Structure 1
Amino acid sequence: MNLQQFRFVRETIRRDFNLTDAARHLFTSQPGVSKGILEFEDELGVQIFERHGKRIKGLTKPGQAVAQVVDRIMREIDNLKKVSDEFARRDEGSLVIACTHTQARYVLPKVIPAFRQLFPKVHLSLAEGNPPQLAQMVLQEQADIAIATESLALTPGLETLPCYVWEHTVVVPPDHPLVELSRKKGFSLTLEHLAAYPIVTYDRAFSGRRSVDKAFDGKGIEPDIVLEAIDADVIKTYVDVGMGIGIIAGVAFEPARDTNLVSLPAGHLFGEQTTRIAIKSGVFLRDYVYTFISLLAPELDPEQVRDQVERSQEE
């Protein structure tokens, strides 16, 4: 058996058992991948993949165990390369950050310039998606870290760290009735107030949407959500054209820029949300990744982060 066969098996699984797609990503031929896998199965004496004719449909029971071992071996091979780079090219390399639009647009611009000053030779890439997609990017090692609110802490195979806490805000035009109400002494925004208007908010996979739905469900209120979007800029745009009131992450409202809107804090309605940083368990991290994490979440102790990551590598 050899590393090439391990790569064939791992990539076939990652590409949903599509040999053509696996071959394309490995820059080789589909027959070569198929032959390598068959030879690997012959050498092991077990069938790794379930087949229907020539098509691979999934993993056999022994194949599931083999896949875990292969993934562990390939992860350690990748770790060796990273260890080598850490000492041979300490301040050079790449960092792929998987994040939502909110992180890319409103949070990372405060972090990336500072990181670039410290590590000008590190190539940075942003890969945007919804939280489940971000988790898969890290698990498949297409990204080094992921930053999101939903899903990450619930995803097996990821180590997560709290990054920052935020609350929702409601955005409305300056002449909206809720603005006038908010100026009255003793006024407190309620779910009933919000339910009286059409609502524009996040898609169900994003930015604390689960908390929004849970709050309304708890009161037995069915909100009139007329549009779901994947980022706050789109939500604010449709609020501005009069489609409804918006519910967005508080970090996505910028008073200096969003002069056409008014923000009404809604943390008391939907609770605090925790954005988390995720890395793949057992993966070696370059020193500059720890630096990036410390810039993103200064309240995290760098040594405690390193200890938690290293413990995950040993497990």
Structure 2
Amino acid sequence: MKLGEPSLDQIRIFLSVAEEGSFGGAARRMGRAVSAISYGIAQLEAQLAVTLFEREGSRRPVLTEAGKGLLAEARGVADRVDALLAKTQSLHAGLESSVRLVIDVMVPGEVTAGVLREFRRIFPTSALTLNIEGLGAVAACLLDEDADLAIGGPVIGEHPALERQAVGEVELVPVAAPDHPLAVLSREGRAGPDESRDHLQLVLADRSKLTEGREFSVLSPLTWRLGDLGAKHTLLLEGLGWGNMPRAMVAGDLERGRLVELDLPERPGAHYRLSALWRRNARLGPATSWLIDAFRDRLAES
């Protein structure tokens, strides 16, 4: 048996009758005559060679088993077409079809999650690609055209190819495990000048050529370079060294005593300033512009 190809209009009529529970209700919803609704259902049944509604002996159409089985498929077809039309309308309105975002590893995870949750709600038709990088690698993603927008730290100064807009800051604090020698000295108030130089410092490695050879808050000549902030966090908890961490990331550890904030004369902690970065020759669309404002708002609240 060769089946016909139902039209989108016939599928929408089918859904309207099923959802309204009557031909009259479907006619009112779609602004059609009842006869047009009835004809559309008859045509769809002829195309598919099945009976979709039981009509005899009842004033209201009731879905047959075949109708029930096809209802979800019909709804899926209509939803996909609606999504296609919404995305097309967005493109005509200047909304980005996709946004490639790179975020500094220092940005608190709950800030990022909160922003992206709202992004998904407000811009459902814009696909998003997220990358997490550290230090100079954030700006490098932009310069290599692997990202459209970055939320990055202060390690890249004024760059002729990049625009910058301040969005907030993250507090960094020097920490160590409670039994680490620097933690013991800090508790006793005996951490003298240059004491930190005698102990292994865990440092976030910069994978970017942009800032190759530069040091950021490195005090000790004894260092381990780690490419991942999560790995640094784990080694700090294990007492393998000391290092700076975003306060938000270690707040729970400090509260439970798993880590200790170090009181060092050098005051290696800092306010890590964050900026939105984008290429100077790029035009920001509405979704990208919204992300900048959203990160600024969330960081102010955190």
Q: Give the shorter-chain TM-score range.
A: 0.5 to 0.7
1:158 Cα offset (Å): 0.4
Residue number in structure 2 paired with 1:295 = 294
Q: How does 1:122-201 map to 2 (within 5 A)?
A: 122-184=126-188, 187=189, 192-201=194-203
Q: Identical aligned pairs, as a percentage?
A: 21
Q: How does 1:3-152 map to 2 (within 5 A)?
A: 88-89=92-93, 93-103=97-107, 105=109, 107-152=111-156
Give the counterpart of 1:212 among 203, 211, 217.
217
Residue number in structure 1 paired with 2:280 = 281
Tell me, in whole angstroms, the C-alpha distance in 2 between the residues paired with 1:265 and 1:290. Answer: 40
**Counterpart residue identity of residue 194, structure 1:** S
1:121 Cα offset (Å): 2.4
1:228 Cα offset (Å): 0.9
Distance 1:140 1:198, change over 3 A: closer
Q: Secondary structure at the match of 1:283?
A: coil
Give the counterpart of 1:261 among 259, 262, 266.
259
Q: Is the 8 A contact 1:211 1:270 kept in 2?
A: no
Residue number in structure 2 paired with 1:246 = 243
**Counterpart residue identity of residue 192, structure 1:** D
Give the counterpart of 2:226 among 215, 225, 229.
229
**Counterpart residue identity of residue 193, structure 1:** E
Q: Is the 8 A contact 2:139 2:152 kept in 1?
A: no
Which structure 2 segments of 5+ residues have no match? 1-87
How many equivalent pairs are there?
Answer: 206
1:240 Cα offset (Å): 2.6
**Counterpart residue identity of residue 223, structure 1:** P
Tell me, in whole angstroms, the C-alpha distance in 1 between the residues paired with 2:173 and 2:272. Answer: 12
**Counterpart residue identity of residue 277, structure 2:** A
Q: Secondary structure at the match of 1:284?
A: coil
Kindly report the root-mean-square deviation, in angstroms, between the aligned alpha carbons of the 2 structures.
3.5
Distance 1:114 1:264, change over 3 A: farther
Larger radius of gyration: 2
Deviation readout 1:234-269 (Å, 9 max, x if unpaired): 112122333222333334324169853233377933
1:194 Cα offset (Å): 1.8
Which structure 1 segments of 5+ residues have no match? 1-83, 217-221, 301-315
Tell me, in whole angstroms, the C-alpha distance in 1 between the residues paired with 2:199 and 2:267. Answer: 19
Bigger shift: residues 99-108 or 115-124: 99-108
Residue number in structure 1 paired with 2:64 = none
Under a length normalisation based on structure 1, what TM-score does the superposition of the two structures give? 0.54
Q: Is the 8 A contact 2:102 2:130 kept in 1?
A: yes
**Counterpart residue identity of residue 284, structure 1:** R
